Amino acid sequence: MLRLVADRGYRFTAVTPLTHQRVKDKRGADPGQTLRDVFGWNTPFSARALPPALFSEMARAGLLQPVGSLWRSTLRIASIDDDLFLHSAYPTVGADAVFFGPDTYRFARFMKQALGQRVATMCRGTLVRVLDIGCGSGAGGIVVSRALAAAGMTSTLTMNDINPAALALTAANAEVAGVAVTLALGDALSAVEGNFDLIVCNPPYLDDEGQRSYRHGGANLGRALGLRIAAAALQRLAPGGQLLFYTGVAMVDGEDPFLAEMVPLLTAARCDWRYEEIDPDVFGEEIERPIYAHIDRVAAVGLVATCPFEQAN
């Protein structure tokens, strides 16, 4: 099904849930007519709106949900460059939902920029062992694989997630992208063995009332999970290995508590590192919730940590 959509030149930029709902409200109840309606805006559609072969493949894959006399796709499709990514239908309310949105694009851009600096110091043909922790749709790992290949590097790519539905979508997305992956189901670093030359991660970082796996970052305003993963990842870098870590932080009284917690860990690991605030204000609607009443804002941040060559740990 995804190949049939890709063959028709489909492109769609996934937006925030709030923007998505506003667009749907403006568009009204008219049935979807285009691939972007069906797989982007997730609009109910009639069978006649799709090529027969595509509709047949959706039926065969169990991806059609009846809505009165119409149908609705149980998955959406977003794009990054020339790659397409299956992800969950709107709204992403399920406990096993696989989210794709503006954070995915920020994460991809952050990694491309970091890798652009990294590969300039590497020899062409170098084999890079890559781990994507909490891979979701697989977008992060596939973006990394593309960037390394463009720079003349080869890579082995391990995709990890605690959510089986995420790994199922990752497998499909990677196959259509032509990127070989190893799937690792489980809780972050506990699901894999050995060390890696490159570890990338965009963990959940909000305190989610429903504790959905793609969104809930645990205690301390959603920082706990990310801090645990980052600390473990530093110990699993090969000599000279690098961690690319994108997350969100609830800023309190102008201070960044995640950075304050990470500095001792980075010092203990003897890593060279740099840290940047990528976007000063994301998920602003969270401030309205009581648990976030005392914060200033939620900022998207990126950490690049490089392990010394002489010793990994």
Write the CA distances from 249 to 16, 99, 221, 254, 297, integer angstroms: 18, 19, 8, 11, 8
Nearest-angstrom CA–CA distance, 205 and 231: 15
| Contact present, 213 and 162 (Cβ < 8 Å) | yes
Full set of structural domains in the chain with CATH = 2-73 (no CATH), 102-306 (3.40.50.150)
DSSP secondary structure code for residue 36 in this structure: I
First-residue to last-residue Cα distance in the chain: 45
Report the largest interatomic distance among the alpha carbons of the chain, rounded to a whole angstrom: 65
Read off the tokens for 295. 């914060």
pLDDT in tens, the chain (313 residues): 999 999 999 999 999 999 999 999 999 999 999 999 999 999 999 999 999 999 999 999 999 999 999 999 999 999 999 999 999 999 998 889 999 999 999 999 999 999 988 887 777 878 999 999 999 999 999 999 999 999 999 999 999 999 999 999 999 999 999 999 999 999 999 999 999 999 999 999 999 988 888 899 999 999 999 999 999 999 999 999 999 999 999 999 999 999 999 999 999 999 999 999 999 999 999 999 999 999 999 999 999 999 998 654 4
Cα 62 to Cα 1, 44, 84, 94, 232: the distances in Å are 11, 16, 19, 17, 38
Its pTM stands at: 0.95
